[in-house]
Amino acid sequence: MFIKLGLETLPAFFSVGVRFFIASVILYIYALKLKLKFPKDITSHIFFFYFGLIFFAIPYGLVYWGEQYIGSGLTSVLFSIMPFYTILLSIKMYPEEKITFRKTAGLLLGFVGILLIFGDQIDLGFEHDLSLYGMIAVMLSPLFSAWGSIKGKKVGHQYQPAILNTLPMLYASISFLIVSYFTESTETLDLTGVAWFSLFYLGIFGTAVAFIVYFWMLKHTSILLMSTVTFITPPLALVWGWLVLDEQITLKLVVGMIIVFTGVWFVKDIKIKPAGTPIK
């Protein structure tokens, strides 16, 4: 929703570039407070640039560009296919992730919940000439996010989450602003109060805080379970709309959320302790 609000008065690549710049500054200050040392060798910086490209620049660039031409409800549904990309990529890139029938069924169940919640917002009519390409862009975006999550899981033991996010976000920000300079017109740029609020909300809470938590959790749980965040985020956004904007909570939303969280529960590995094992 906040992406959509920002795009009303801001060019897409400029908007996401500023968002990541704000996030990288916040995380740099946080890293300094923790007295973390950033790697200085060229190999690490090449990896950070590559990681920033596949996990931040490409997927967010595709979402921001695509959401100019399709609705936020359809965007939520299309981006929710990320867990299925994660399954396919994990088979080759991270075989340690065990793909079971239970997990697969949980993903399908979660996706059904998303379809139920946003079904009435899915408009496949091509109101804009680029609507179809917008849909394709949003569908490709989670492929790169899944790829980046697996890479983040594999190097998570080497880098503290603040380090793993700060420089890739900065490189992604620079990339977006360069692309914006050459492809977008300043005539469409209007930094209204809503635009500023969108940028800072997304930069601080939707990016800096969110990805610190995300990569910390990724070190301690499965990639597949973490990918289900794409199921959880959209319905929770609607709950916030009810709490903050006095929007209506419908029975369909409640049922959809129950289905989503049931699916996520199925994806989670259930470890049963042997009889007689002390509970800590």
What is the predicted pLDDT for the residue at 274?
Answer: 44
Helix-strand-coil split of the chain, %, nearest 5? 75, 0, 25
Domain definitions of the chain by residue range: 2-101+124-221
Helix (H) or strand (E) holding 218: helix 210-218
pLDDT one digit per residue (tens) for the chain, 280 residues: 777 777 778 888 888 899 999 999 999 999 999 999 898 899 999 999 999 999 999 998 898 888 878 776 777 788 888 989 998 898 888 888 888 888 888 889 988 888 887 776 665 555 667 788 888 898 999 999 999 999 988 887 888 889 999 999 999 999 999 999 998 887 777 888 888 888 999 999 989 999 999 888 888 888 888 888 888 877 777 777 777 666 677 787 788 888 888 988 888 865 444 444 444 4
Q: How many residues does the chain have?
A: 280
- What is the reported pLDDT for 28? 95
Residue 33, CA distances (Å) to 5, 27, 124, 166, 202 in order: 33, 10, 48, 14, 22
Q: Give the per-residue pLDDT at 124.
A: 56
3-state class (DSSP) for residue 168: helix
Spatial distance between the Cα atoms of 245 and 193, rounded to a whole number of angstroms: 17
pLDDT of the residue at 247: 67
pLDDT value of residue 21 = 96
Cα-Cα-Cα-Cα torsion 266, 271, 275, 277, nearest 10 degrees, comes to -150
